[in-house]
Amino acid sequence: MQDIETLWKLILEKLELRISSVSFMLWIKTIKPLEIDVNGNIVLVAQSVTAKNQILRNFVDKIAECANEVSGKEYNITVLDQNEEAEYLKNNKINEKNSTKTQEKSPFKEKFTFDNFVVGKSNQFVYAAARTVAEHPGKRYNPLFIYGGVGLGKTHLLHAIGNFIYEFSPNLKIMYVTCEQFTNDYIASLYSPTKNKSIMEFRGKYRNLDVLMVDDIQFISRGKETQEEFFHTFNELIMNNKQIIICSDRPPKDIETLEDRLRSRFSSGLIHDIQAPDIETRIAILHKKSQLEKYYAEDDAINYIAERVDSNIRDLEGKLSEVYFLATLNGKKVATITEAKEVFLNEPKEDIKNDLTTDKIISVVCNYFNIDEKDIIGKKKNKEIVTPRMIAIYLISELLNLPLVNIGKIFGGRDHTTIMHSRDKIDGELKTNKKTETIIKEIKALL
């Protein structure tokens, strides 16, 4: 009988081509293959009851179809949730080594894996690069430099690379450190009573690696000796085809403390950023968090949170925790939009926003562009009106955190997808168009 893990790997390769990337990462990649039983059933384990229901409703036929294609046999697909798995193992007495792969515990954070990383438009390229590096360390994209704002998933990707290499290439020596830890280790070696020996031990620790991952490189010391030591460590590893992955909150050219020679080295590989997730990705992230933490929440509650929090993933997941905690205090097993609204109702607002209203933002935008307020909320589609309208929508969304549906009502009953498009278009232009950036800054100053 064909091995279940081998068969499932082949099935996954076909499934990935047939469903959306978000659905694949959210529902399919999280499945654990358990067994092929004597009756021709492929037994799979979903991470939660919700995941099981999604799989049975939307994907079970595709799984069966792909299984038939890769093996030439007809299989029935059985999907269990985690509670049902234990009873199944007990009743069927499956040998543990066939159902669960046991190995030494990874030193990296268990939850930070590629399977648990939700991929969307904002991070799909950097995810692909990180995955490639994990599969072929030292062969491509070396060094890999990842940058982006706080809480967007940089550290998650570093640990995902570490977990992947630890599982599939356990013979490789891999280390994850913060820039502060590297600096402290080097300073400790300089001030050790046995300085020369300590420096050699420090170099042995950092230069005899197959993979070095350094987080928060923007905090690198201005000290010449520390940067010189990092420079030589970097060169030693690169010359020996060892992989280096570096994370920062900004690209190398914007790290003021960085010496030119290090800036040049960092720029010699692949540099890519992680951007704030769009609304679809934020919803997928919240669903994933719900699965992992067993936070049960209705779709309306999740959508409400996703609309209100667009800063970073950490804040997004934190709000979901608050909403679910409030629901449990109210004696509920499932969080609803009632709890979501209450959490945001109690959220303190920044002073700068206290005097802002939608009317004020629209008025300032109209005065800035010298247009009539009735035109900006009306149906006109000429460029002289459309661009100010999109800017007003962006500013209301960013500064007031109103739900998209509410903003749509303000602008003549427009659909929330139209509002989302306008907001995201201006957000995208801010990263590439200096003129748009200047306009937004000037209007904010007027507000």
Report the predicted TM-score, pTM, of the whole model to 2 decimal places. Answer: 0.56
Q: How far apart are CA 26 and CA 293, in angstroms?
A: 14
Q: How far apart are CA 223 and CA 95, in angstroms?
A: 57
Whole-angstrom distance between the N-terminal and C-terminal Cα of the chain? 70
pLDDT number for residue 177: 92
pLDDT number for residue 63: 93
Site of tokens 């009873």: 87
Q: Give the other-Cβ count within 10 Å of 16's Cβ.
A: 14
Q: How far apart are CA 424 and CA 275, in angstroms?
A: 12
Residues 439, 431, 179, 256: is their CA dihedral positive or negative? negative
pLDDT number for residue 93: 55
**Homologous superfamily of the 4-97 domain (CATH):** DnaA, N-terminal domain (3.30.300.180)
pLDDT number for residue 38: 60
The CATH label, of 3.30.43.10, 1.10.8.60, 1.10.1750.10, 2.70.150.10, for the domain at 352-446 is: 1.10.1750.10
User: What are the tokens at 213?
Assistant: 């991952």
CA 53, 55, 56 angle in degrees (round to 5)?
Answer: 65
Name the fold adopted by 124-274: Rossmann fold (3.40.50)
Taking only the tens of pLDDT, the chain with its 447 residues reads 456 887 888 899 889 889 988 788 888 988 989 887 666 789 999 878 888 989 999 999 999 999 888 887 888 899 998 778 877 877 775 544 444 433 456 788 888 999 889 888 888 999 999 999 999 999 889 999 999 888 889 999 999 999 999 888 888 889 999 998 999 999 999 888 888 888 888 998 998 899 999 999 988 877 788 899 999 999 999 999 999 999 998 899 888 888 899 999 998 999 998 888 888 889 999 988 888 888 888 899 899 898 888 778 888 888 899 898 888 888 888 888 888 888 888 665 444 445 688 888 999 999 888 898 888 988 888 888 999 999 999 999 888 877 788 888 888 888 888 888 888 889 888 878 888 888 888 888 887
- Of 211, 120, 92, 101, which is closest to residue 160 (Cα–Cα)? 211
Eight-state DSSP code of residue 378: S
Q: How far apart are CA 213 and CA 181, in angstroms?
A: 12
pLDDT number for residue 351: 43
- Alpha helix locations (H) across 271-401? 279-293, 299-308, 313-329, 337-345, 351-354, 358-369, 373-376, 383-400
Note the residue count of the chain. 447
Whether CATH 2.30.140.10 fits 279-347: no
pLDDT number for residue 361: 93
- Of 392, 402, 444, which is closest to residue 423 (Cα–Cα)? 392
Q: For residue 166, what is the enclosing H or E element? A: helix 154-168
- Of 276, 433, 443, 226, which is closest to residue 356 (Cα–Cα)? 443
Q: Give the other-Cβ count within 10 Å of 25's Cβ.
A: 22
Instruction: Write the single-letter amino acid at 437.
Output: E
- The domain ranges of the chain are 4-97, 124-274, 279-347, 352-446
Instruction: Determine contact, residues 312/281, Cβ cutoff 8 Å.
Output: no
Is the preceding peptide bond at 143 cis, omega within 30 degrees of 0?
yes
